[in-house]
Structure 1
Amino acid sequence: MHERLANLLGATSLAVTDLVLAEITGSAEVSASGAAALVVLAHAPGLGVTELGRRVGLTQSAAARMVDGLQAAGLADRRPGSGRVVRVHLTPEGEQAVGRLLSARGAPLTGVLGALDAAERETLAALLGKLLAALYERIGDADLMCRLCDRHCCTAGAVCPVGQADREAQAATLGEGAR
């Protein structure tokens, strides 16, 4: 029985991912990693290229190429930081693109959830929170997991399950260090 459930989950997650990626890449005319970088920069402006790459799952050299593309499109710019660090910031056009990206991301997700009634959506929210907390234990990187999240809607009136798992993991690490 778990094999069928796992297969259904896999097919659902892949179909939803395909819908979301098609919408977001079309809305700002950027790659999936470029879209994620724009959303990340909206929440954490001024990241260095290497850290930005880590948060979107790219190597430093791939991140540098991605930032080149975002800069060429007028969506981001580089600014000198301390030492050799170069900070990446959104341009006004990049900030507008983030709004389009998050709207484009939300549209197919809202459409998919329309197949469920209110009680089913509430149950699904609780189950997804549990799955995300478990996924955090395996992945261990909230920034990477939430790279395309609309953080405001996730935390408005609720606790983000990934953020909560991250805080608990950090507290546990600090507790182990005190021993």
Structure 2
Amino acid sequence: MNRSRVANLLGAGALAVAERVSAEAARAAGVSASGAAALSTLLVEPGIGVTELGARIGLSQPAAARMLDTLLAAGLVERHHPGGRGVRLTLTATGRAAAEKLLEARGRVLADLLEPLTDDQVRALTPALEALLAGLVENRRSEYVLCRLCDRQVCARCPVGEECRGYG
């Protein structure tokens, strides 16, 4: 087996898939790629603060604050100041609709990419992808970055989440 060729194919495929998913998700929501990741995150984790949001989508605090300003101006996110504690972020109804649209777009892109594969190929690909994803976990917070555009309802048993729990 030629692992160099497989690695090269994986690299090309991963880049193409990431670019296509990111672009379509952002287009569907009408926001940037980081904005799409923020909407997706806030859909499943409402009430987190800007620093935590940035960490979960791979942005520094200043970059997350700038991205958040754009989402606030677009009416997609609201800030809440509960009882003197830090700022909490939630989606507006428009933001929730945009997050749902981006997940639908992501799902369509991925379904289209799987279309040329036979059922047997998809069955063989599943454990390989699970192992690859588990191998990408670096710490217990990796789940937030790796799964930032995931449709959490589709993945009943997340290999990334399971691996993250192993980090205590």
1:132-160 alpha-carbon deviations (Å, 9 max, x no partner): 111114785111111110011011xxx11
TM-score (norm 1): 0.89
Q: How much is the aligned-residue C-alpha RMSD, in angstroms?
A: 1.4
Corresponding residue of 1:22: 23
Corresponding residue of 1:149: 150
Structure 2: distance between partners of 1:101 and 1:18: 14
| Structure 1: runs of 5 or more not aligned | 171-179
| Structure 2: runs of 5 or more not aligned | none
Structure 2: distance between partners of 1:3 and 1:139: 30
Give the number of equivalent residue pairs. 167
- Report the alpha carbon displacement of residue 84 of structure 1 after superposing the two structures with TM: 5.3
1:156-175 alpha-carbon deviations (Å, 9 max, x no partner): xxx110111112222xxxxx
2:140, 2:165 within 8 Å by CA — same for their partners in 1?
A: no
Deviates more, 1:21-30 or 1:31-40: 21-30
Structure 2: distance between partners of 1:42 and 1:69: 17
Structure 2: distance between partners of 1:8 and 1:82: 52
Structure 1: distance between partners of 2:122 and 2:56: 29
Structure 1: distance between partners of 2:10 and 2:153: 26
Matched, 1:161 2:159: yes
Corresponding residue of 2:10: 9
Corresponding residue of 1:85: 86
Letter in 2 for 1:166: C
CA distance 1:133–1:105, change in 2 (3 Å)? same
Letter in 1 for 2:165: R
Q: How does 1:128-143 map to 2 (within 5 A)?
A: 128-137=129-138, 141-143=142-144
Corresponding residue of 2:74: 73
1:92-142 alpha-carbon deviations (Å, 9 max, x no partner): 000001110001111111011111111110110111001111111478511
Structure 1: distance between partners of 2:138 and 2:19: 25
Q: Which has the higher helix share?
A: 1
Structure 1: distance between partners of 2:159 and 2:37: 20
Letter in 2 for 1:20: V
Letter in 1 for 2:103: L
TM-score (norm 2): 0.94
Structure 2: distance between partners of 1:63 and 1:100: 22
CA distance 1:91–1:140, change in 2 (3 Å)? closer
Deviates more, 1:74-83 or 1:87-96: 74-83
